[in-house]
Structure 1
Amino acid sequence: MNLYSTRTSLVAAAAALALMLSACGGDTDNSSTGGDGGSSSSGGGDLSITMLPKNLGNAYFDTSTDGAEKAADELGADFEEVGPETGSPDAQVSYINTVAQQGKDALIISANDPDALCDAIDEARSADVKVVTFDADTNPDCRDLFINQATAEGIASKQLELIADEIGGEGEIAILSASANATNQNAWIDMMEKELADNPDYANIKLVDTVYGDDEDQKSFDQTEALLQNHPDLKGIISPTTVGIAAAARYLSDSEYKGKVALTGLGTPNQMREFVEDGTVASFALWNPGDLGYLATYAAAALVDGTISGEEGDSFEAGELGEFEVGADGTVLLGEPFTFNKDNIDDFDF
């Protein structure tokens, strides 16, 4: 399926659910414009946009950058991706500073912390840089717009729905998250905890642990092993991070727990396909990170040319994705999570 298909075609192809996704990454050449990572660039138009994911080398962000580059080409914009090797707020600051110094028109950033980046972002905005967050937000006062893949409630509910189905509505579960200060994942976890406490359908499900793999493959793998050793009655794991769910699936697939401990969360079809096909994972969810990057780029362009100011009720066209409206707190919503399973996973390629 085309990664950048329109919302209409996604609905038609996926039974009325818009496909969404969350990813990090990019090129890792040595032409760094700041920090300890790298950069890549394309285009040459009057509109200049820099994209700063949480870190490079993450397949999720590789896909979002592909979408952003596609939109930049359609807009005739000069586009570059930069980023650190590690997912920490300190590692992003130097890149934000460089964007301000270079006088870029817009910065698109997935924030590693909701508050720690605000001083640097304020400096960039003072230099007339429009700042659009995507995937993971800052404090709303720090940026112009946030491109949200889905609501926290929607993502939390979907993951609980999937794990409840897979464990028969009862038993111990754990969460394998990214970093302890990841804005988006903390919001999802808070919502899951609230729904577990308030929804009678989940009265027999107990969340016994939340651990952090820091979006590092080996650490996430090790944390999966530790969860299973520390909680011998564990029935299921939710991993709301593409790195974590793949690492956990890899551990489970070659262990005695395969088929006994359920795993779900947020992943990409290509990274999870083998684990769905071998029975390690029954289902998981995600949105289309390519569409997320694509939408963020069109939103940045609309801010720069004055089509929108970021106020609630503003609307703009986002190429083949159609028209979007700015909601409360300067948030633009891409859509709803999509569930992947053995019946449909081969219909997608990203």
Structure 2
Amino acid sequence: MMLRNAAGRRAVATAATAVSLALALTACSGTTKDSEVSGSAKAGSSAKADPDAPLKKGLKIAFLPKQINNPYEKIVDEAGIAAAEEYGGTGKEVGPSDANASSQVSYINTLIQQRQDAILIAANDPNAVCGPLKQAMKKGIKVVAYDSDTAKDCRQLFINQASSEEIGRSLVQHLGEQIGHKGKIAILSATQNATNQNTWIEYMKEELKLPAYKDMELVKVAYGDDADQKSFQQTQGLMQAYPDLKGIISPTTVGIAAAARYLSDSSYKGKVVLNGLGTPNQMRKYVKDGTVEQFSLWNPEELGHLGSYAAAALASGQITGAEGEKFEAGKLGEYTIGKDGEVILGEPTVFDSKNIDTFDF
């Protein structure tokens, strides 16, 4: 999906890292899974990167999404599992059917018992998963957060889909242009504790403080918990509470699709602007029937591919998670680790009626 070559992607990734929100600290060196690290699981002491080390064969990696039935995260995880096959490893996806804060904990404990080489997690809550993730790192299991970060010292890397600031501010910018920078707006988020959602929303609020938005008012942040029916009901509730609402931003693929479904069959179709983050295949019909003019996203397949190769590089000793280290991500080319162990995939793409049919995911 990314509309540039590998060199351009790397340049953007490096530049964007400089302005991206620092979500977590650079993390940890590890030992083998047969011994435990003394003291903190964070980086810092003995392990050194060997950039010339080959990727190990037979690596076992596990993707732990926010919830197992999330269609967006299914795309990410399946791409990461396919990437593992490219470098001679095996991957799998496990996870809860709900997105509650503590739902992922039991799965992390099981993955530790199974002696996985790496766990990739999209955290439902930045803190609830920290205890077991630290235990995993103490046992030499590498931990990579993707899509939604953990707390500061609970992973070695965070694979961020794009600059958090760019995502949050651009969604407000797009919606502002669509409604003429006037009127009441609302946000339909996922769960209240989702790290990525809250970070984007904070940048949305910062953007709204600028003079250009003095005639726009954020009246509500609603939470659909990344559940289709609840997101649908939250959209309905927003319109009942604020019948003069001019726009909704939904920075979650489940939420924006549910909101579009409600608006498409209501008297608000064409009157309330809906923008946010969604997949082309989910949103195509709503773009074509006039419910939605535009929305944004990155390529979730590339996000999974990058996360998988980053985990393999960690587990093979090519990198430790320190700023400035480099690794190859297969077909995506070389990436550089930025501040606080963050690796940025690249810039999001804006989808509209002119380009949506050129994408299939």
Please give the range of the TM-score, normalised by the shorter of the 2 chains: 0.7 to 0.9
Q: Is the 8 A contact 1:218 1:247 kept in 2?
A: yes
- CA distance in 1 between counterparts of 2:4 and 2:332 reads 6
Residue aligning to 2:35: none
What SS does the aligned partner of 1:336 have? coil
Shift of 1:203: 1.6
* Residues 134-180 of structure 1, C-alpha deviations (whole Å, 9 max, x = no match): 00001121100000001211001221121112111111100000011
Shift of 1:202: 1.4
% identical equivalent positions: 55
Shift of 1:101: 1.1
1:72-111 equivalent positions in 2, closer than 5 A? 72-111=84-123
**Is structure 2 residue 284 aligned with structure 1 residue 287?**
no
- CA distance in 2 between counterparts of 1:72 and 1:279 reads 40
Residue aligning to 2:83: 71
Residue aligning to 1:8: 5
Name which of 222, 232, 235 aligns with 1:224. Answer: 235
- CA distance in 2 between counterparts of 1:154 and 1:345 reads 21
1:256-267 equivalent positions in 2, closer than 5 A? 256-267=267-278
One-letter amino acid of the counterpart of residue 111, structure 2: V
- CA distance in 2 between counterparts of 1:10 and 1:275 reads 34
Q: 1:127 to 1:262 in 2, by over 3 A?
A: same
Name which of 152, 175, 180 aligns with 2:192. Answer: 180
Shift of 1:217: 0.6
Shift of 1:326: 0.5
Shift of 1:6: 8.5
**Is structure 2 residue 301 aligned with structure 1 residue 268?**
no
Shift of 1:200: 1.6
1:186-335 equivalent positions in 2, closer than 5 A? 186-197=198-209, 199-335=210-346
One-letter amino acid of the counterpart of residue 287, structure 1: W
What SS does the aligned partner of 1:169 have? coil
- CA distance in 2 between counterparts of 1:11 and 1:56 reads 33
Residue aligning to 1:346: 357
Unaligned runs of 5+ in 1: 18-44
**Is structure 2 residue 145 aligned with structure 1 residue 133?**
yes
- CA distance in 2 between counterparts of 1:78 and 1:223 reads 39
Shift of 1:209: 0.7
Relative to the length of structure 1, the TM-score reads: 0.87
- CA distance in 2 between counterparts of 1:8 and 1:73 reads 24
What SS does the aligned partner of 1:140 have? coil
Q: Is the 8 A contact 1:131 1:143 kept in 2?
A: yes
Q: Is the 8 A contact 1:242 1:267 kept in 2?
A: yes
- CA distance in 1 between counterparts of 2:357 and 2:262 reads 23
* Residues 228-250 of structure 1, C-alpha deviations (whole Å, 9 max, x = no match): 11012110000000000000000
Relative to the length of structure 2, the TM-score reads: 0.85
Unaligned runs of 5+ in 2: 14-56
Residue aligning to 1:24: none
What SS does the aligned partner of 1:142 have? coil
Q: Is the 8 A contact 2:184 2:217 kept in 1?
A: yes
Figure out how many residues of one structure are paired with residues of the other and give that number. 317
Question: Which structure carries more relative contact order (alpha carbon 8 Å, separation 6+)?
Answer: 2
Shift of 1:258: 0.3
Q: Is the 8 A contact 2:6 2:332 kept in 1?
A: no
- CA distance in 1 between counterparts of 2:211 and 2:248 reads 20
Residue aligning to 1:123: 135
Q: Is the 8 A contact 1:140 1:330 kept in 2?
A: no
Q: 1:300 to 1:349 in 2, by over 3 A?
A: same
